[in-house]
Amino acid sequence: MRKVAVYATVIVAATACGVAVQRYIRKCGRWGRAMEILKELEEKCATPPWKLNLIADAMNVEMHAGLASEGGSKLKMLITYVDKLPTGNEEGLYYALDLGGTNFRVLRVQLGGKDVGVLSREFTEVSVPPNLMIGTSVALFDYIAAELAKFVAQENQEFQVPPGRQRELGFTFSFPVSQTSIASGNLIKWTKGFNIDDAVGRDVVVELTKAIQRQGLDMRVAALVNDTVGTLAGGRHANSNVIAAIILGTGTNAAYVERAQAIPKWHGPLPDSGEMVINMEWGNFRSSHLPLTEYDYALDAESLNPGDQIFEKMTSGMYLGEIVRRVLCKMAEEAFFFGDNIPLKLKVPFMLRTPDMSAMHHDSSADLNVVGRKLKYSLGISDTSLEVRKVVVEICNIIATRGARIAAAGILGILKKLGKDSISEVEGQKNVIAMDGGLFEHYTEYRKYLANTLKELVGEDISESISIEHSNDGSGIGAALLAASHSQFLDG
């Protein structure tokens, strides 16, 4: 009996050992597959300098094509009719209205002129009721004008309009418009949840002006701009060396100052300044040199605008977290990276937001507990090992690095178009890029990668003449500044 018991014990032990070995082999196999997916991602997302230079050259070519004719390029290269940027000498009280989504802001600024700048500023933010987002044009603009009138009524002693002088306003309208002058533009289509049919095709400045008049308010809309042009104006007011503005937030766009003579599709009289601000709509840039992956193709195919905004889908805050989610989902499906079951939340598009991705990427704790919490609460993934968390951070790093580096290549494309990618003949001249947007402001690693990549691409000597500066709240204050620089009360 004792021999039987010993044999039985040996058999059980051997079986247990065999199961453990099988589990180990299976785990090794799964981990190996996860590492294959990671390695392939890293290779496909690679952005060596030679590739980034090709992207910059392609951006330059598309800029030329877009300036030559309407529809000649993926870049719209829209003429903004902004031919006078703020100089810093502007004086007086100006208002701004910033409508770009489900909230709008009303601002006022008192400008003190040369060497003084902005003396005072105030703003209020108002939510747009959901029923007005799908109602009528009159209902929406009457609501906005009523809130504007309330804000004007609260002017205090810091804000003064000379007697008999009409108030002027800059209108930031971040929806697609076909602009016909500095203060007129017809709505092409609504986005961001708005759907007001009777406003499409109409001049949004006319609609706002009529609503202002119905409030009994004496105010003129002096400038219609988008948020990127506003950022350029705000940057130029603070620094006369600003040549371009980039928004890197939920979406992305660029605007820059072009010589009017370098715009073949411009058929009007040349502006006195000899310059024109161009709204590139660079989110729609596409090139065969962009390092696209299977995750990018799938995201694009399932998006509301397949084939469009490819550059934006690789660089902006709306999409970076979603790309990371798609990589993690593949690892879960093919390598059982988070266990035998695929977490349900991991399958839901846009469940991982870019702020969560940023928090994981910046996690400096020894056990990466921020990564653990984000995986648990954002994606329903519990009990992750440190090794798994390190892989998640590496995926965030790969996607953020690629996005920032190709955004830097886009900036290089603008510098090439303007001939600013070589050493200036003017001693000590700076070329400043004004930047704004939540992604740029809050995603520290992304911001660092962008700046370092631009320096890498242009070289040490030229990089000393190029500066990237944060232009906070450009879309708001910039519109007020453009109202000032295009005021009807300017001399001359």
The candidate with the shortest Cα–Cα distance to 182, out of 279, 283, 71, is: 279
User: Which residues fall within 8 angstroms of residue 260, CB to CB, at 6 or more apart?
Assistant: 83, 266, 270, 271, 273, 274, 275, 276
Catalytic annotation, residues: 105, 174, 227
Cα separation values, 171 from 110, 185, 337, 399, Å:
17, 11, 50, 35
Q: Which tokens sit at 63? A: 């800029």
Q: Provide the β-strand partners of residue 252.
A: 248
The answer to whether the CB of 68 falls within 8 A of the CB of 264 is yes
List phi, psi (to 5°) of 335: -125, 10
Q: Give the span between the Cα atoms of 218 and 478, in whole angstroms.
A: 22
- How far, in Å, CA of 332 to CA of 334, rounded? 6
Closest CA to 284 of 75, 61, 79: 75
Which of 143, 81, 93 has the alpha carbon at shortest distance from 120?
93
Q: Are 207 and 244 in contact (CB under 8 A)?
A: no
The sign of the CA dihedral 343, 345, 347, 351 is negative
